[in-house]
A and B are shown apart, each in its own frame.
Chain A
Amino acid sequence: MLLSQFLVLGAALFAFGVYGLLVRRNIVLILLSVELMLNAVNINLIAFESVLASPEAIGHVFAIFVITVAAAEVGIGLAIVLMIFRNRKSANVDDLNLMRW
């Protein structure tokens, strides 16, 4: 019973993330949406680990990995956003369509 509540929370959080990813125009908010999706995954990992209680604590370990990767990703992502903003005076993804045919 408790597990399903966690899964619903994770799914809702992931859905918010997807929505933000597809709808938001500001790059920073898109990055935040990606963070939301990653943390939704983390909630699922922790929830399943608390039920299964594996001796190696695989769920926790993976959650820490995801947090680490997310931190790195945000670090690089924000740096790119900063450089783009400095060059283009804009953080709107609709303006960033140079990589096309």
Chain B
Amino acid sequence: MMSRLLFAAEEIHAGDGGWWADTAGVMLVLPFVAFLLILAFGKKLKYKGGEIAVAALAINLVWATVLLLMNANGGVLDQITFEIGHIGSGLVFELGWVVDGLSILMFFLVNFVGLVVFVYALGYMKDDVRVDWFFAAFSLFAGAMLVLVGAPNLIQLIIGWEGVGLASYLLIGFYWEDLDNVRAGNKAFLTNKVADVGLILGAILVGVSIGSWDFGAIDFAAFEGAPELAAVATAGGLLLFFGAMGKSAQFPFHIWLPDAMAGPTPVSALMHAATMVTAGIYLMARMFPLFEYMAQNVRIVMIVIGTVTLFGVGLLAIVADDIKKVLAYSTVSQLGYMMTAIAAGGYTAGMFHLFTHASFKALLFLGAGSVIHAVHSNDMSDMGGLRKFMPTTFWTWVVGALALSGIGLSGFWSKDEILATMGEQGLTVVLWISIAGAFVTAFYMARATFLTFFGSYKGDGQPHESPRIMTVPLVILAVPAAVAGVLNIPGLSLPRLGNFTEWLAVRLVPMGDHHAEAINFGLAAMGLAAAVLGVVIGWLIYYPDKETQLQRDSFEIPVLFPLLRKKYYIDDLALGIVALIKGPLARLVDWTSTYVIEGLVNGVAGLVKGFGVFVYDTLDQRGVDGVFNGLSAAADGAGSVVRKWQSGRVQQYAASFVAGALILVVLFVFVI
């Protein structure tokens, strides 16, 4: 049964998107079709199935772009669902797609970044192993994310959520010949699984309380203050946030993300920019009315965790030697910004940072991939001086690094908006920590840039610029990384594109977004100053000095750096806790197994055995067998008596015959 959107708050004005929204489900299906096609025919094709993956996302991008433009010009609000089943008469389970400001943005982001990364991967993975399987899993990754962001209800979101988890596991452990990579995949999967419990419990709690998993229904209930939802809002909100912490790598669940660098670099780019880690932020944005109108106290937890993440994990990037790990920690840090912004009420600010971050982080990862492709090492101590060898990579990297640091380009505008939201909400401490975080961000990006592209080359061989198929995606991504910020300058509405805030406001209910009406020049200046200071200090420490760079590379702050190198001992702590629990838990399980379960099993087995013995000995051996033995013994005895008559002597038979005849004669003559 197909059903469409039925209600929307009176203040919301939007079209229904017509044919494009009705057929938007194509985007959710195509990557899975590509997945199957690549598995079936990938090996025979020139790019091992990469062209199928690219084609699927290219078609998807048409839909996403059309919908994005339609949404920018008047709004698109539509939902199409098909009933799959139901529990009783109340809880209906539906699959389908929702088309509104938020999902359209994510459709565009996933398909755009996905397409660019896929094209890049055509070059990057060219001579690699199992290329067809790589593209198949990659399509699955994008498809699962589209199912997630297009989900009209929590159940489909969970399906996509787990699909993303599965695909990320497959891709992180892609080079499974090395046990460390397999471990990294397991770590990512299991860490996410722990958090997923929260998501599932939260979904059950919220869904059962109002009798629907539909996001529209939940948002509406939150908006109107439905008492049954209010009763579970805090617990449900906490559980959902717990789930989001896992996927979005919030402290202390961030431990899986740096390890996830074990996968091929395009995987990291897609995972950090558009698909995997944005899922948690997306969930928070999707459920924003719940936190805005009901579960306000959960937001305090979110702000604390987000702030710890954005600063604490950001610091870890300073000591990382692996260029991809620097970027990984920076992603976690930026996710902390987004989470804190959404928790502070900055729905648009958080999503806008997600949007700009997706472009420049994908750019940085692809740039890092290009560098790794050239020097065949992830370690920054093997790089240096690459500016001269790889000009395109260098300049696009600089664009990405400046954007991430918040200096002038897109990251500046989105980060400023987050700072403005915090300032407006009066979160002074969080605001100062965020500004300090901006300093840290700029510092480690300066460090990575100077160590990689300046000074003298320290690796082996002659590095060379990557082929066109890899540099063109870099240039394409550099454009939004540079200019995407203008989409949401307060008070500015672009012709034919409008304003990012308006895009995102197209939802069923008003978001109650806390949005800065004008540029806060004071905070913008402070954020910019912190970032510039970070770059300057990074420049001073890691300046491209051929003779001394190696020496300055060993720049060290006592106490802090060793602590950072140990990652605050969180990995060790987690392992320690596991080790601590493992022993007693194993013993408990063993005891339970030995005495309780085995006792139960033995008891049941004893009963069954006793019954069997009874049946065999008494019923069968004595009862049934007795009857037949008795019968046969009787027949045997009778036979042994009677058979003696069968003497074989003809005359004895004749005598019997004569005797019988005589008896008959006597009977006939005298008796009858």
Assembled-state Cα–Cα distance A98/B647 (Å):
9
Inter-subunit contact B658/A93 (CB<8 Å): no
Assembled-state Cα–Cα distance A101/B650 (Å):
14
Scoring B residues 262 to 305 as 1 if CB is less than 8 Å from chain A, else 0, what string do you get?
A: 00000000000000000000000000000000000000000000
Inter-subunit contact A22/B643 (CB<8 Å): no
Could you tell me which residues of chain B, from 634 to 672, have a CB within 8 Å of some CB in chain A? 643-644, 646-651, 654-655, 658
Inter-subunit contact A22/B655 (CB<8 Å): yes
Minimum Cβ distance to chain B for residue A23 (Å) = 8
On whether A93 and B644 interact (CB within 8 A), knowing A18-B658, A22-B655, A22-B658, the answer reads no
Inter-subunit contact A93/B651 (CB<8 Å): yes
**Minimal Cβ-Cβ distance residue in A for B658:** A18
Residue from B654, B655, B658 whose CB has the most chain A CB atoms within 10 Å = B654
Chain B CB within 8 A of A56 CB? no
**Minimal Cβ-Cβ distance residue in A for B661:** A18
Taking a contact as CB atoms closer than 8 A, the residue among B646, B649, B655 that contacts A93 in the complex is B649
Taking a contact as CB atoms closer than 8 A, the residue among B647, B651, B655 that contacts A100 in the complex is B647
Scoring A residues 58 to 95 as 1 if CB is less than 8 Å from chain B, else 0, what string do you get?
A: 00000000000000000000000000000000000110
Chain B CB within 8 A of A52 CB? no
Inter-subunit contact A101/B658 (CB<8 Å): no
Assembled-state Cα–Cα distance A98/B387 (Å):
119
Assembled-state Cα–Cα distance A30/B658 (Å):
14
Inter-subunit contact A100/B650 (CB<8 Å): no
Assembled-state Cα–Cα distance A72/B224 (Å):
121
Could you tell me which residues of chain A, from 10 to 63, have a CB within 8 Å of some CB in chain B? 18, 21-22, 30
A98 contact set on B, CB distance < 8 A: 648
Inter-subunit contact B651/A97 (CB<8 Å): no
Taking a contact as CB atoms closer than 8 A, the residue among B644, B649, B655 that contacts A101 in the complex is B644
Chain B CB within 8 A of A99 CB? yes
A101 contact set on B, CB distance < 8 A: 643-644, 646, 648
B647 contact set on A, CB distance < 8 A: 97, 100
Minimum Cβ distance to chain A for residue B654 (Å) = 5
**Minimal Cβ-Cβ distance residue in A for B649:** A97
Chain B residues within 8 Å of chain A by Cβ, number: 11
Minimum Cβ distance to chain A for residue B644 (Å) = 7
**Minimal Cβ-Cβ distance residue in A for B645:** A101
Minimum Cβ distance to chain B for residue A76 (Å) = 15
Assembled-state Cα–Cα distance A32/B351 (Å):
130
**Minimal Cβ-Cβ distance residue in B for A98:** B648
A3 contact set on B, CB distance < 8 A: none
Taking a contact as CB atoms closer than 8 A, the residue among A21, A30, A97 that contacts B648 in the complex is A97
Assembled-state Cα–Cα distance A98/B648 (Å):
6
Chain B CB within 8 A of A9 CB? no
Minimum Cβ distance to chain B for residue A93 (Å) = 5
**Minimal Cβ-Cβ distance residue in A for B643:** A101
Chain B CB within 8 A of A96 CB? yes
Inter-subunit contact B650/A93 (CB<8 Å): yes
B646 contact set on A, CB distance < 8 A: 100-101
B643 contact set on A, CB distance < 8 A: 101
Minimum Cβ distance to chain A for residue B500 (Å) = 112
A97 contact set on B, CB distance < 8 A: 647-649
A30 contact set on B, CB distance < 8 A: 650-651
**Minimal Cβ-Cβ distance residue in A for B642:** A101
Could you tell me which residues of chain B, from 360 to 418, have a CB within 8 Å of some CB in chain A? none
Inter-subunit contact B651/A21 (CB<8 Å): yes
Minimum Cβ distance to chain A for residue B493 (Å) = 120
Assembled-state Cα–Cα distance A99/B646 (Å):
8
Inter-subunit contact B644/A22 (CB<8 Å): no
On whether A21 and B649 interact (CB within 8 A), knowing A101-B643, A101-B644, the answer reads no
Minimum Cβ distance to chain A for residue B177 (Å) = 83
Minimum Cβ distance to chain A for residue B190 (Å) = 83
Minimum Cβ distance to chain B for residue A86 (Å) = 19
Residue from A21, A94, A96, A101 whose CB has the most chain B CB atoms within 10 Å = A101
Assembled-state Cα–Cα distance A87/B649 (Å):
19
On whether A94 and B648 interact (CB within 8 A), knowing A22-B655, A22-B658, A101-B643, the answer reads no
A99 contact set on B, CB distance < 8 A: 648
On whether A21 and B644 interact (CB within 8 A), knowing A94-B649, A97-B649, the answer reads no
Scoring B residues 550 to 583 as 1 if CB is less than 8 Å from chain A, else 0, what string do you get?
A: 0000000000000000000000000000000000
Minimum Cβ distance to chain B for residue A82 (Å) = 17
**Minimal Cβ-Cβ distance residue in B for A33:** B654
**Minimal Cβ-Cβ distance residue in B for A24:** B651
Inter-subunit contact A22/B648 (CB<8 Å): no
A18 contact set on B, CB distance < 8 A: 658
B649 contact set on A, CB distance < 8 A: 93-94, 97, 100
Assembled-state Cα–Cα distance A21/B649 (Å):
12
A94 contact set on B, CB distance < 8 A: 649
Assembled-state Cα–Cα distance A72/B650 (Å):
21
Minimum Cβ distance to chain B for residue A11 (Å) = 11
**Minimal Cβ-Cβ distance residue in B for A97:** B648
**Minimal Cβ-Cβ distance residue in B for A100:** B648
Assembled-state Cα–Cα distance A61/B281 (Å):
124
Minimum Cβ distance to chain B for residue A17 (Å) = 10
B658 contact set on A, CB distance < 8 A: 18, 21-22
Residue from A30, A96, A98, A99 whose CB has the most chain B CB atoms within 10 Å = A99
Could you tell me which residues of chain B, from 48 to 89, have a CB within 8 Å of some CB in chain A? none
Assembled-state Cα–Cα distance A101/B645 (Å):
9
Assembled-state Cα–Cα distance A62/B364 (Å):
130
Taking a contact as CB atoms closer than 8 A, the residue among B644, B650, B654 that contacts A96 in the complex is B650
Assembled-state Cα–Cα distance A64/B477 (Å):
130
**Minimal Cβ-Cβ distance residue in B for A25:** B651
A22 contact set on B, CB distance < 8 A: 651, 654-655, 658
Minimum Cβ distance to chain B for residue A84 (Å) = 12
Scoring B residues 579 to 615 as 1 if CB is less than 8 Å from chain A, else 0, what string do you get?
A: 0000000000000000000000000000000000000
What are 9 A-B contacts with C-beta separation under 8 Å?
A18-B658, A21-B651, A22-B654, A22-B658, A96-B648, A97-B648, A99-B648, A100-B648, A101-B648
B residues apposed to A, CB below 8 Å = 643-644, 646-651, 654-655, 658
Known contacts A93-B651, A98-B648, A101-B644; 18 further A-B pairs (Cβ under 8 A): A21-B651, A21-B654, A21-B658, A22-B654, A22-B655, A30-B651, A93-B649, A93-B650, A94-B649, A96-B648, A97-B647, A97-B649, A100-B646, A100-B647, A100-B648, A100-B649, A101-B643, A101-B646
A residues apposed to B, CB below 8 Å = 18, 21-22, 30, 93-94, 96-101
List 4 A-B pairs, minimum CB-CB distance, nearest first. Answer: A100-B648, A97-B648, A101-B643, A101-B646
